[in-house]
């Protein structure tokens, strides 16, 4: 009924990949059980840096989820026909990403068995409550839309008219998930690194660069591995979207830097100093941040020059560079940078531990498994026609 | 006078309805929180006298008393420390009220710091389960059975007053006090202003333990309270009051 039977038949290579992912999930799961019994002391987190890789990954993937709007909006509002075949891929990517986000929150909790307390004692003045509402709603919207669209594609009938309402609703909803996620950070009085009104637009810009980059890579993979072809035009259009979004994203970061460095308020400066040059002799994040800068600029050069962007090798390279750059900036620097220096000015080093990485790997594997199964179903439906 | 059955029923019905309505009106009237009367409404506060406090001379009476009263674990790793009241260097406590000269003059001075029991606590605002909340007397409370361990309050607190139990704290408790709960791993904890002692009309443990009488406790809403008298007589500062949090802990310079 849910078309899952289509995911149960596949080549040997397909099954090897599935088994590989299941093995990673089992590995992550085993370490998660250890974290559950021993506590979060298993991670590199501390009293000063109390959020780290888990929350940073959550933030990054909220962006990937929100970026589905970059194919949904052009297709449904501007009738961009080239996106006809990939819109559903964007929506399914959103479903997988939101699921990963929820798992990242869950593995970060000290008392995960109490998670339902968020529903039992709904606290409207907490942004976390609203983040749960917006992420949950977005997951539901995209799951219903993608499933309905795919089923009407299989039955070769026009999609029901009510789906249009949900599609239109999903557009502002996508913006809302990343805005509310930014509000988690940007409303905290003592954390000057996050206390900036531009955080939500910055999140959205970086999301609209990293998400479509991932979609480009997935489309190219599908073209190589299956008979499904998103079409050169659609992929190039995604490239243009990434080019714009990446430009805006870098522009926003530079805006932040101008305010901080020109006003020269020490409290605001220190976080940027810590990230890019190091503070109190601790510069272990600086190397990462400069990799982010270099990959980001390199990607931008490829994306902005049409000749380079249209190159079949350079476009996927640019996509990889964009993801790497923003993954470091948002998936690490943004969260850790907000906590260092701590309220008492201490510079506390945070490095994720091996168990922490493996738990993250397990969550990624769950996301990859969902993507694999969803795309397998989609491709099978289309190949059957 | 003769009352017919019909009339009797009518009068009885009206009286019942009237009584019910009166009750309803009264219920609505008092449903909101009672307006604070100047006599009974308290706001607990604390004044720490910089001149009297001598934690530099290895005095940590307040810290020891708190640790004993609240089963605070002594965790050797700095990253996983649990702190309710602790010593911090002067220039770190007031980083925005420093000049090169004060830094030099007060070099090596340390002060006790604890939860500020804010009037507008950021931690309470962000908690997704209301596991931390502010009481009417100003004490910011923690429910260790409701806390989901998301640590949003730790990110929100501008004073670094909150600790997380990264692992089971019980093996690290040196002297177990039976009449105060221990915590489990995975929850956030902080100074509770000794609410368990306040309930019995006693001052907080740190106040009682201080031989220098450097910590004074009382009702900030009572003009005659010792804290208000001190705040009238001497110049006091709070930690980052510009954030609008309204700390209830004052430091006399």
The string of pLDDT tens digits covering residues B104-149 is 888 888 899 999 999 999 999 999 999 999 999 999 999 999 999 9
Asked if B251 reaches chain A (Cβ–Cβ under 8 Å), the answer is no
| Residue B82 placed within a domain | yes
* Residue B56 pLDDT class (50, 70, 90 cuts): low
**Which residues does chain A have within 8 Å of residue B148's beta carbon, measured at their own beta carbons?**
109-112, 114-115, 117-118
Contact B113, B63 (CB under 8 A): no
**Interface contact A111-B156, CB threshold 8 A:** no
**Interface contact A342-B160, CB threshold 8 A:** yes
| Residue B27 placed within a domain | no
Per the structure, the count of domains in chain B is 1
What distances in angstroms separate CA B50 from CA A202, B56, B86, B112, one per listed residue? 44, 11, 15, 9
Least confidently predicted of A33-42, A74-83, B20-29, B46-55: B20-29
Contact A138, A146 (CB under 8 A): no
* Residue B37 pLDDT class (50, 70, 90 cuts): very low
**Interface contact A50-B243, CB threshold 8 A:** no
Least CB-CB distance to B186: which of A39, A184, A267?
A39
Q: Which domain holds residue B191?
A: 46-252
pLDDT in the model for residue B24: 57
Q: Output A143 or A4, whichever has higher pLDDT.
A: A143
What distances in angstroms separate CA B210 from CA B7, B74, B207, B226, B238, one per listed residue? 75, 21, 6, 16, 20
| Residue B231 placed within a domain | yes
pLDDT in the model for residue B45: 97
Peptide bond preceding A172: is omega within 30 degrees of 0, i.e. cis? no
| Shortest alpha-carbon distance between residue A167 and chain B (Å) | 30
* Phi and psi torsions of A277, nearest 5°: -125, -15
End-to-end CA distance of chain A: 18
* Residue A272 pLDDT class (50, 70, 90 cuts): very high
Dihedral of the alpha carbons of B15, B18, B20, B23, in degrees to the nearest 10? -130
What distances in angstroms separate CA A337 from CA A77, A156, A272, A293, A331, one per listed residue? 38, 51, 7, 15, 11
A9: exposed, middle or buried (Cβ count in 10 Å: 0-12, 13-18, 19+): exposed
| Residue B9 placed within a domain | no
Asked if B209 reaches chain A (Cβ–Cβ under 8 Å), the answer is no
pLDDT over threshold 70, residue B35: no
Averaged over A113-119, what is the pLDDT?
96
Determine which of B93, B124, B166, B243 to mutate to test the interface with A (most A C-beta atoms within 10 Å).
B166
Indicate the average pLDDT of chain A. Answer: 95
**Interface contact A128-B148, CB threshold 8 A:** no
| Residue B135 placed within a domain | yes
Query: What residues 11-70 of chain B have any CB closer than 8 A to a CB of chain A?
Result: none
pLDDT over threshold 80, residue B23: no
Closest-CA residue of A relative to B148 is: A111
At A98-107, the pLDDT tens digits run 999 999 999 9
| Residue B3 placed within a domain | no
What distances in angstroms separate CA A253 from CA A91, A257, A305, one per listed residue? 28, 6, 22
Radius of gyration, CA atoms only, chain B: 24
**Interface contact A190-B240, CB threshold 8 A:** yes
pLDDT over threshold 90, residue A325: yes
Q: Which residues of A have a CB under 8 Å from any CB of B? A: 38-41, 45-48, 50-51, 105, 108-112, 114-115, 117-118, 120-121, 123, 125-129, 132, 184-185, 187-191, 267, 338-339, 342-346, 348
CATH of the domain at B189: 3.30.70.20
The percentage of residues in chain B with a pLDDT greater than 70, rounded to a whole number, is: 89
pLDDT in the model for residue B38: 45
> Which distant-in-sequence residues (6+ apart) come within 8 Å of B178 by Cβ?
none
**Interface contact A267-B96, CB threshold 8 A:** yes
| Closest listed residue to residue B187, CA positions, set B238, B136, B129 | B129
> Which distant-in-sequence residues (6+ apart) come within 8 Å of B33 by Cβ?
B136
pLDDT in the model for residue A88: 94
Dihedral of the alpha carbons of A183, A185, A191, A195, in degrees to the nearest 10? -40
pLDDT in the model for residue A149: 94
| Residue B157 placed within a domain | yes
pLDDT over threshold 90, residue B5: no
**Residue B252, beta-bridge partner list:** B49, B236
CA distance A71 to B188: 42
At B155-211, the pLDDT tens digits run 999 999 999 999 999 999 999 999 999 999 999 999 999 999 999 999 999 999 999
| Residue B5 placed within a domain | no
pLDDT in the model for residue B34: 46
Indicate the average pLDDT of chain B. Answer: 89
- pTM value? 0.91
pLDDT in the model for residue B20: 63
Continuous H helices in chain A: 12-38, 53-66, 69-77, 87-108, 117-120, 127-155, 162-186, 199-225, 232-263, 266-276, 286-304, 306-309, 314-328, 334-339, 354-384
Asked if B156 reaches chain A (Cβ–Cβ under 8 Å), the answer is yes
pLDDT over threshold 80, residue A219: yes
Closest-CA residue of B relative to A122 is: B129
Q: Output B126 or B38, whichever has higher pLDDT.
A: B126
Asked if B116 reaches chain A (Cβ–Cβ under 8 Å), the answer is no
pLDDT over threshold 50, residue B69: yes
């Amino acid at each position: 009924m849910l078309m899952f039977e289509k995911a149960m038949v596949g080549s040997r290579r397909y099954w090897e990949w599935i088994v590989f992912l299941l093995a990673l999930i089992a590995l992550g799961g085993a370490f998660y059980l250890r974290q559950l019994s021993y506590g979060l002391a298993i991670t590199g987190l501390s009293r000063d840096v109390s959020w780290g890789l888990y929350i940073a990954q959550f933030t990054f993937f909220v962006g990937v989820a929100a970026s589905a709007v970059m194919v949904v909006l052009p297709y449904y509002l501007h009738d961009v026909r080239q996106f006809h075949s990939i819109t559903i891929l964007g929506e399914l990517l959103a479903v997988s990403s939101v699921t990963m986000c929820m798992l990242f929150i869950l593995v970060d909790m000290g008392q995960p068995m109490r998670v339902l307390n968020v529903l039992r004692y709904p606290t409207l003045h907490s942004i976390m409550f609203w983040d749960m509402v917006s992420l949950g709603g977005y997951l539901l919207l995209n799951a219903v839309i993608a499933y309905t669209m795919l089923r009407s594609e299989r039955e070769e009938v026009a999609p029901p008219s009510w789906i249009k309402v949900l599609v239109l609703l999903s557009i502002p909803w996508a913006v809302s998930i990343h805005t509310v996620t930014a509000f988690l950070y940007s409303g905290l009085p003592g954390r000057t690194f996050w206390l900036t009104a531009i955080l939500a637009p910055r999140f959205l810009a970086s999301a609209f660069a990293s998400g479509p980059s991932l979609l480009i890579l997935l489309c190219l993979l599908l073209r190589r591995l299956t008979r499904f072809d998103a079409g050169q035009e659609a992929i190039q259009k995604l490239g243009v979207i990434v080019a714009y979004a990446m430009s805006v994203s870098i522009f926003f970061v530079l805006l932040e830097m101008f305010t901080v460095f020109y006003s020269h308020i020490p409290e605001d400066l220190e976080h940027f100093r810590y990230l890019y040059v190091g503070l109190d002799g601790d510069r272990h994040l600086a190397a990462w941040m400069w990799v982010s800068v270099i990959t980001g600029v390199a990607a931008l050069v490829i994306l902005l020059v049409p000749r380079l962007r249209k190159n079949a090798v350079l476009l996927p390279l640019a996509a990889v560079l964009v993801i790497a750059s923003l993954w470091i900036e948002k998936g690490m620097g943004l969260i850790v940078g907000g906590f260092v220096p701590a309220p008492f000015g201490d510079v506390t080093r945070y490095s994720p531990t091996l168990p922490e990485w493996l738990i993250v790997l397990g969550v990624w594997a769950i996301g990859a498994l969902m993507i694999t199964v969803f795309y397998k179903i989609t491709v099978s439906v289309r190949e059957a026609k | 006078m003769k009352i017919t059955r019909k009339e009797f029923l009518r009068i009885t019905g009206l009286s019942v309805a009237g009584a019910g309505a009166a009750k309803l009106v009264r219920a609505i009237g008092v449903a909101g929180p009672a307006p604070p009367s100047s006599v009974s409404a308290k706001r607990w506060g604390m004044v720490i006298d910089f001149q009297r406090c001598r934690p530099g001379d290895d005095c940590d009476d307040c810290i020891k008393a708190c640790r004993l009263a609240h089963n605070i674990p002594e965790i050797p790793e700095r990253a996983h420390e649990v702190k309710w009241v602790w010593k911090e260097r002067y220039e770190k406590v007031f980083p925005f009220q420093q000049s090169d000269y004060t830094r030099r003059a007060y070099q090596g001075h340390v002060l006790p710091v604890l939860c500020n029991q804010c009037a507008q606590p950021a931690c309470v605002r962000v908690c997704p389960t209301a596991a931390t909340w502010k009481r009417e007397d100003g004490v910011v409370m923690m429910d260790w059975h409701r806390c989901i361990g998301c640590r949003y309050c730790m990110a929100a607190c501008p004073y670094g007053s909150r600790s997380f139990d990264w692992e089971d704290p019980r093996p690290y408790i040196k002297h177990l006090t039976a009449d105060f709960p221990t915590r489990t791993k995975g929850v956030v904890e902080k100074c509770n202003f000794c609410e368990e002692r306040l309930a019995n009309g006693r001052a907080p443990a740190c106040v009682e333990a201080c031989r220098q009488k450097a910590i004074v406790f009382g009702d900030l809403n009572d003009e005659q309270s010792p804290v208000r008298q001190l705040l009238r007589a001497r110049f006091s500062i709070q930690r980052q009051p510009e954030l609008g949090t309204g700390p209830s802990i004052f430091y006399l310079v």
